[in-house]
Structure 1
Amino acid sequence: MFGLKFGGARKQETAPQGEFITARLNAKVQPIDRGDYYEDPLTDMLKAKGLGEVTGGGTQLTDAPCGIDYCDLEISVHEADEETLAAIVQRLNELGAPRGSRLIVESTGKQIPFGVTEGLAVYLNGSDLPDEVYRTCDVNHVIDEFDRLLAGKGAFRGYWEGDRETALFCYGASFPEMKAALEPFLASYPLCDKARIEQIA
């Protein structure tokens, strides 16, 4: 719709023997971004500590306007003890996991809530604006401005391109602070006319 410069999928590796944990992230991110933001840094930590590795992941789609419901990281560890679980939670929180995320231990069904950031979605109207707006405006400029305006408060982390709307997802410490930082730009840039803002985490 708007010519977003993102995409790609990530290869899943063969799972080693061990106990299995799912990190269900309340994050609306594309597969390649899921890997960059969460999978790769978490695997680096797990391997460095000799605890295990991330063996794959998935993105759950939804019919709701946002398109993406959540994403999963599939983790194999040598032992799902309290120390290992705490290390995973700590690292994912350091990486900015959104509130409403949880670890699920496959063998016991135990669930551990985690997450530290709040989420903001901006839904750009992709069908009701003048044709001139779509010809002359650039969604990548919107994303660049989001990152500039959110510096120190949050960052753009993903998108979903639907039939009538394109959703841009940002995560940071405070939804109200992110909303306040973006509102003047949203009110002034033609492509953001008729945009909606919602809290998603």
Structure 2
Amino acid sequence: MGLLDRWRRRRTEVSVRLNLPLQPMHRGDWYEDALIRRFKEQRRGNRMTGGGTELDADRRIVAAVVDVALADPVDDELDDLIDLLVEQCAPRGSSLSMLGRAKVEFGECGVLALHLPAAAPPDVRYEHVPCTYAAMDFMEQLPDAADGVFVVQTWWSDADGTTVYISAPDLERARAIVEPLIAAHPVGAGHAFEVLVP
């Protein structure tokens, strides 16, 4: 057996499906970068091997995928991997898949989608995505208002408007904070909430 074959046998490939329509850059910010840092700190031979997005029939993102290789014995590493993903606010309904094993579900946050109809065509490019100044201004208020109750992990903006995805263990508490902010903001006219992940 060659050196490469021995290296491969010492790790188990694990595919992580995050039940949230994360843009690729936000998948990196919230999950891939955190995993890389943790793996480097642990020095146990775990590695990031890839990442991607899951699309629906209309080519809209419905979930994010992160692929890792965990050092054997893999059972010793799985709990630590799940703990880190939960620390990063992984949504309920997320899962781990491994060849020859049953899927493992995890996640402690629900996801609330806040839809902001477009009042004007996108007029700036914000984090490489078209967006309006008004939507940018509103989103920049959310981290200070969150007070540890929720996080905004991703958002999407196009000609139809902007959708902000709010992750929280308690969606009612999160909505109670966000509702007065959006009601008072110019971008809030015609807004709508949708529970994406209960």
TM range (shorter): 0.7 to 0.9
| TM-score, normalised with respect to structure 1 | 0.80
**Quick one: structure 1 residues 94 and 51, their matched pair in 2 at CA, closer, same or farther if it must change by over 3 Å?**
farther
Task: State the alpha-carbon separation in 2 of the partners of residues 26 and 103 from structure 1.
Answer: 11
**Quick one: structure 1 residues 45 and 86, their matched pair in 2 at CA, closer, same or farther if it must change by over 3 Å?**
same
Matching residue's letter, 1:157: Q
Task: State the alpha-carbon separation in 2 of the partners of residues 182 and 111 from structure 1.
Answer: 34
**Quick one: structure 1 residues 170 and 92, their matched pair in 2 at CA, closer, same or farther if it must change by over 3 Å?**
same
1:52 aligned onto 2:42: no
1:179 match: 175
Task: State the alpha-carbon separation in 2 of the partners of residues 180 and 60 from structure 1.
Answer: 31
Q: Determine what percentage of the aligned residue pairs are the same residue.
A: 24
Task: State the alpha-carbon separation in 1 of the partners of residues 72 and 33 from structure 2.
Answer: 20
Matching residue's letter, 1:186: I
Task: State the alpha-carbon separation in 2 of the partners of residues 33 and 91 from structure 1.
Answer: 16
2:106 match: 114
Quote the offset at 1:113 in angstroms: 0.7
2:76 match: 83
Task: State the alpha-carbon separation in 2 of the partners of residues 94 and 171 from structure 1.
Answer: 12
Residue of 175, 181, 189 corresponding to 1:193: 189
2:145 match: 149
Matches within 5 A, 1:4-43: 17=8, 18-43=11-36
Post-superposition CA distance 1:74-114 (Å, at most 9, x none): 11123263211111111111121111101101x21421111
Residue of 57, 60, 70 corresponding to 2:63: 70
1:3 match: none
User: Partner of 1:98: helix, strand, or coil?
Assistant: coil
**Quick one: structure 1 residues 160 and 178, their matched pair in 2 at CA, closer, same or farther if it must change by over 3 Å?**
same
User: How many aligned positions are there?
Assistant: 180
Quote the offset at 1:64 in angstroms: 6.7
1:10 match: none
1:61 aligned onto 2:52: no
Listed as ranges, the gaps of 5+ residues in structure 2 are 1-6, 125-131
Matching residue's letter, 1:31: P
Post-superposition CA distance 1:114-170 (Å, at most 9, x none): 1111211111101xx4x59x8995211110122222122112111112341311111
Quote the offset at 1:171 in angstroms: 1.1
Matching residue's letter, 2:189: D
Post-superposition CA distance 1:12-71 (Å, at most 9, x none): xxxx73321001011222112111211121122234331411111012233579x32000
Contact 1:23 1:101 in 2 (8 A): yes
User: Which protein is richer in strand relative to its size?
Assistant: 2
Task: State the alpha-carbon separation in 2 of the partners of residues 188 and 63 from structure 1.
Answer: 36
| TM-score, normalised with respect to structure 2 | 0.81
Task: State the alpha-carbon separation in 1 of the partners of residues 134 and 58 from structure 2.
Answer: 25
